[in-house]
Amino acid sequence: MQDMTAISRRKHPRHDAWFSELSLGASSWSKLDGAEGDRTALAVTERAWQIGIRYFDTAPYYGSGLCERRLGSGLAWKDTGDYLLSTKVGIDLDPFGQRKPVAHHYPHYAPFTPVCDYSRDGIRRSFETSLHRLGIVSCDIAYMHGLSICDGGIDAALGTGMPALLELRDAGHVRMVGVGANSPAIAMAFLERYDIDVLLFAGGFTLTDHAGAGPVVEECAKRNIGIIAASPFANGAYFAAENTADRQRLQVRCAEYGISDTAAVIQFGLNFPSVLSVLWSTTKPENVDRTVAALNETIPAAFWERLREDGALLF
């Protein structure tokens, strides 16, 4: 077993906030059913803690509160000064099922109805109830999200959601605010209008799909906005049959340099100084050790240069 010195940290350029280079997201935990799922999520969190992960992310939408509750249980007795925590706003939970619902995209979930709400009151209520589900009285980052799920979500978030989120930051209720964007276009729409602290780049910024990400990364670097390189395996799309050819080409190059393709995929984002952490999720405690081992593989600079020559690394 690796010890807790296994993961380096990166400092946010504006804040005294240190992010472990690998971070743990709770999104996949809604695949875990019942009490046994609770125990598994707790084991994943504890192993992540033991090995040095110190940034954790969740959202109300993940399992309709189930994943927030599970993450809060894992962090319950840990000093909040020892880690960073983020959740999200934009999709709230209705306990009465009286508001227009958003479709559940997770196999197991708590009996709450997810609803889109980018109003001022909705943003505040969502953030406050997240703290209740987590059982933790402070949260370091709140991200605007649900932008591709909610009808009119982008316009509503730009119009009323972000001002409300910035109010929470200005009032000292949250240290940093950001946007969860699953495309470069969405990311840029918010960067052009608001002074955020962190961009959770959850689509269009992976080793095998980053053609449009250059201007976003450049803008973040210019304005000292930190980037979280989320979902490096593109929510499993990296392993899909239609991506077999690209995956095999990468594996051939990795073999030439004596590294794993997992290491290349995980470490891609960390080539950029603005990237603070690579956010990833798992349902298996043993995968924590495997992923940290990939994070710590030594990748020679010549490998990345070869990818540029191949046209596989675009900036």
In this prediction, residue 105 carries a pLDDT of 82
**Domain 19-309: what homologous superfamily?**
NADP-dependent oxidoreductase domain (3.20.20.100)
Q: How far apart are the first and last CA of the chain?
A: 36
In this prediction, residue 232 carries a pLDDT of 98
In this prediction, residue 274 carries a pLDDT of 98
Of the candidates 101, 108, 92, 104, the residue with the CA atom closest to the CA atom of residue 144: 92
> Domain residue spans in the chain?
19-309
Cα 35 from Cα 31, distance rounded (Å): 12
Of the candidates 265, 270, 175, 263, the residue with the CA atom closest to the CA atom of residue 228: 270
Of the candidates 59, 146, 151, 65, the residue with the CA atom closest to the CA atom of residue 100: 151
Given a contact cutoff of 8 angstroms between Cβ atoms, the answer to whether 87 and 178 are in contact is: no
List the chain pLDDT tens, one digit each, 315 residues.
445 457 999 999 999 999 999 999 999 999 999 999 999 999 999 999 999 999 999 999 999 999 999 999 999 999 999 999 999 999 999 999 999 999 888 899 999 999 999 999 999 999 999 999 999 999 999 999 999 999 999 999 999 999 999 999 999 999 999 999 999 999 999 999 999 999 999 999 999 999 999 999 999 999 999 999 999 999 999 999 999 999 999 999 999 999 999 999 999 999 999 999 999 999 999 999 999 999 999 999 999 999 999 999 999
Given a contact cutoff of 8 angstroms between Cβ atoms, the answer to whether 137 and 76 are in contact is: no
In this prediction, residue 103 carries a pLDDT of 86
In this prediction, residue 1 carries a pLDDT of 45
Task: Tell me the backbone φ, ψ of residue 62, rounded to 5 degrees.
Answer: -70, 105
Which H/E stretch holds residue 86?
strand 84-89
Kindly report the pTM of this predicted structure.
0.96
Of the candidates 258, 256, 269, the residue with the CA atom closest to the CA atom of residue 297: 258
